[in-house]
Amino acid sequence: MTNPPPWQNVRDAIESAWPASGYRDLGVVVGCSGGADSVALLRSLVESVRQPAAPSPPRGFLVVAHFNHQFRGRESHADAEFVRQLAGQLAVPLETECGQGAEQDEESARNDRREFFRTVMRRHGARYLALGHSRDDNVETVLYRLMRGTGPAGMAGIASFRPFSDDPSGSDFVIARPMLDLGRDQIREALRSINAPWRDDASNRSNAYRRNWIRNELLPTMQSQFPQAVPAIARAIQGQRQWLDALQPVIDRWLATVQIREKPLTLRRLDRIGGEAETELTATPLRDQAVAIEALRRCWQRSGWPLRDMGQFHWTRVFEMLCGRGPDALTLPGAVEIRRDPESLTLVRRH
């Protein structure tokens, strides 16, 4: 029995993670940088939507979205031209936008690109934003978080599907990442097998960005001693993701018991909760630090507050305040101020 060709393996993996029946009648914006991962994702989705064996024509649509940061001058414009030609070849509408071209940190660049995607989704009435993150991206993300002192949820890596944002303007949109089980080398081999070109970003070889250092220096060093480090870490991430998914109903119950109001965010002190709520502690472990921290993280997301600089140390400080320990006032990264009164905590972000 012969093995399926490399491109078919990639197609099958994407279809398994995200069956075409789930999006072919809806709108999908596909973020495409011109790199191998996003090119493979775009080609796969186009082929899946246009399958001749489908019982009926698709009622949905695909749109390609390319954000040109203009960081690399001619190379950036060549990437944009490559995506324009690819979209034309595949007969898929294209949306593009250019950034300022000035040097930015990773988070600012990501925010600019994210706002562009949000605008494109609104304009077209799309439901999904499809992004081509691979298994290697997931492993690099977890290593990055680990070195910043992440908690258990950070070790769960990138979610395959998640709301675009928790604020009302983005809650109807869903980010889909159906390539998290595919390795970077596997994706490139598949594209070569069908003579499909892609663009290589030379800036990925620079270690100016920490994620690039993880990719170019840390992981190769790890693999010199543990050749299967990437798939092994990926399996650990999958276990953490299953743990986090199982925890979601518990977090829902915690918030239902503890949160008084959303604006301003006000939470009951855990050391003041008693009576009927106390009898439900076995079902809702209010004083379990892991549950509380993941619930607090959700509050941050809903409020649109920055999570990047919130390490495990900061979450632990907030949990201690909820339990009646530590100071009565605290300022956290992102200018989030917490004040504790006899019955509750109030959290406000100062701009």
Per-residue pLDDT reduced to its tens digit, 146-163: 888 787 888 999 999 988
Read off the pLDDT of residues 218-231 as tens digits, 9 standing for 90 and up: 999 999 999 999 99
The answer to whether 34 is a known ligand-binding residue is: yes
Write the DSSP assignment of 203-249 as a string of letters.
Answer: GGG-TTSHHHHIIIIIHHHHHHH-TTHHHHHHHHHHHHHHHHHHHHH
Model confidence, pTM = 0.84
What pLDDT sits at residue 279?
46
Q: Closest by alpha carbon to 40, among 212, 174, 193, 157? A: 193
Nearest to 90 by CA among 35, 49, 149: 49
Asked whether residue 37 is marked as a ligand-binding residue, the answer is yes
Please check the confidence at residue 169 and state whether its pLDDT lies above 90. no
All domains of the chain in start order, with CATH: 6-133+177-227 (3.40.50.620), 246-349 (1.20.59)
Query: Position 301: which residue type?
Result: Q
Q: What count of Cα atoms within 13 Å lies in the side-chain half-sphere of residue 148? A: 19
The verdict on whether residue 36 carries a ligand-binding annotation is yes
Q: Which two tokens stand for residue 4?
A: 């399926």
The response to whether 206 counts as a known ligand-binding position is: no
3-state secondary structure of 270: helix
Report whether 38 belongs to an annotated binding site.
yes
Q: CA–CA distance from 190 to each of 11, 13, 58, 285 (Å)?
A: 9, 12, 26, 47
